[in-house]
Amino acid sequence: MRISIASAALVGLASQVAAIDPLVIKGSKVFNSKTGEQFFAKGIDYQPDILSTNQIRDPLADKAACSRDLPFLKDLGVNAIRVYQTEPYGNHDDCMKMLADAGIYVMLDLSTPTETIIRDSPAYDANLLGYYQRKIDAFGKYDNTFAFLAGNEVANAANNTDASAFVKAVVRDTKAYIKSKGLSIAVGYATNDDASIRWQMQTYFDCGPAEERADFYGLNNYEWCGDKATFETSGYANIVKNYTDWDIPVFMTEYGCNAIRPRTFPEVAAIYSNKMTDTFSGGFVYEYVEEPNKYGLVKISGSSGSKTEDYDNFKKALAAVNPKGVKMSSYSPSGKEQSCPDISNDWIASSTLPPTPSNATCDCMMKSLSCVSKLDAVPTSDSELKTFGETVGSIFGTVCGTIDCGDVSANAKSGKYGKYSGCNALQRVSWVMDAWYKNERGVDGSCDFDGFATVTSPELSSDSKCSDQKDSNSADGSSSGSNSDSSENTTSGAASVVASSVLAAAALAALL
C-alpha cells in the first residue's frame, strides 16, 4: 500500500468546499475513505477554451466557466474530471465547491507547457519543483482533489526515455512534499502507451524504493475504434493482461478514438465490466470541449455551450454501466512490485534519479564564484531568450570541450548527476564561466565571453560546504522555488522564469 489509509481519512487541511469523502488507495484499487466502497472514475478530460488564448488557461479559477459547464458534467453523469492546465494563483474555491457539490473529483496535471520536463532536453531545478509545490498548496486543501500527475507522455520514443528519470524525481519530491503537509493525495504518471517502450515505462514508474514509485499509473489509449471492434481486436484484452497482478491502480487517463464518427463509445462497457474492473479503476474520456481535432462533447461559445453529436452517445454509454467492486475492509492486496528495466537500446533511464534540487545549494555555489553572468535573471521575451540560449550553448560548447563540466551536467542513462546539475541555466553557465576563468588564472579577458560575464568578489572562499545546504522545504514544507511569492500571475513572473530556465537548459544539453 502506497498511501496511508488512516492518514488519508483523518488528516488534511481545512477545506472550504462542501463535504465530499476523500478517496484513498489500497493496493491496486481506489476506495471512498468513509464508506469503504471501491471507486471507479467515470471521468472526462476537461480543459475548456485552451486554444482561445496564448496564455495558460486555468479553468478552475473561472467561476463563470464552471457555472456554464457544470450542468453538462452533471447531465453526463461523470464523477471525475482530469484538468491539464491550472495555475497555483487565483481563487479556485468556487469551482472546486461546485464540483464537490456535484460529487465530482479532480485529477490535476502538475505540469503546463511552460513548466515541465522537456523530453528531448530534460532538466529539473528548484524553480520547477517550487512551481509544483505551489500548485499542491493551491489544490491540496480540497477534499475532491484526489490525484496529481507528475507528467503526461513525456517520453514517447526510446531515444528520449532518459527524461523519465527526471519525471520520476518529480514523483519522489512531490510525494515527499505532500507528506510533509500532512496530506494524502496520490501522485502518478500518464503515458501514451507507445509499444516500443510500453513495458519498460510501466515497470520503471513502479520499481525501486516506495518513496520513488508512482502511486498510480495512467494510460492514454485510443485503440478501440468503432462498433466493429471487440475486446480482443481492439487490443484491450492485451492491455488488461499487461496490468494483471499490478500493485497500483491503473486508469484510462484518455480514451475515445474518433476515427469512426459519430463515436458510440463501445469501449465504455468494457472498461466498467468485470473484464477490466479488477485491473482498471475506470477512465477519462477525451474530451469535454470541442476543438479542431473533433474529440469534444460540448461546443463552447462564450458563456454558453451546446452538445456535439457525441454527447448523448457518451451519456448513454456511461449510464448503462454499473461497475462492481469490493469493499476496502475485505480486500487484501496481492499485486506484485516491479523490477526496474535494464539499460538497453530501448531504454536509457537509470534507476538512479536526479537529486532533489536545492536553491540553498545553488545560491551557495554562486557566492563562491569570481566570474558570473551579468544577467540577474533569464530573459523572458522570445527574442531575448533565443539569444540567451545561443550564447549559453556556445559557452558550454567551448568551455566544456576543454574543462570537465561534470558538476553542472546530468546523465540519466549512467545515473550520474553533478552536484549543481539541479541549478538553473543562469547559475550553471556562471559555474562554467568561472571554471574557465580559474583555469586561465584570471588573465585579462578570460571573464568576458563577449560581454556576457563580469568579474565579482566571491563571498565564500570555496564551495566545499555548498552540497550540504538544503532548502527548508525538506523539513517544513516551505516552497523550494526562488520566486516563492505567488501573489502575481503574469507572463513575466515566476512561471516564465521557470519556462525560460528550462528552455535555456535545452540548448545547453544539446551540446553536452
Active site residues: 153, 254
Name the grid cell of 248: 497500483
Closest among 189, 186, 131 to 164, alpha carbons compared: 189
Please measure the distance between the N-terminal and C-terminal CA atoms of the chain and give it in whole angstroms: 40
What is the residue-wise DSSP string for 392-457?
HHHHHHHHTTTS--GGG-EETTTTEE-TTTTS-HHHHHHHHHHHHHHHTTT-TTTTTTTTTEEE--
Residue where the block lists cell 487517463: 253
CB 91 within 8 A of CB 61: yes
> What are the backbone angles phi and psi of residue 217, rounded to the nearest 5°?
-130, 140
Distance of CA 308 to the CA centre of its chain: 30
182: left (phi over 0), alpha (psi -120 to 50) or beta: left
Q: Which amino acid is at 481?
A: G
CB 136 within 8 A of CB 148: yes
CA dihedral sign, ordered 183, 78, 42, 65? negative
Name the grid cell of 146: 484526489
User: CA-CA distance, 499 to 385, in Å (whole number)?
Assistant: 10
Output DSSP code: residue 337: P
User: CA-CA distance, 162 to 321, in Å (whole number)?
Assistant: 40
Closest among 112, 100, 4 to 55, alpha carbons compared: 112
Distance of CA 236 to the CA centre of its chain: 26
CB 467 within 8 A of CB 356: no
CB 213 within 8 A of CB 207: yes
CA angle 251, 256, 257 (to 5 degrees): 130
Strand residues in 38-154 grouped as ranges (E): 41-45, 80-83, 105-109, 145-152
Q: Helix crossing, 425-439 with 382-399: angle to 10°? A: 40
Strands 41-45 and 29-32: unpaired
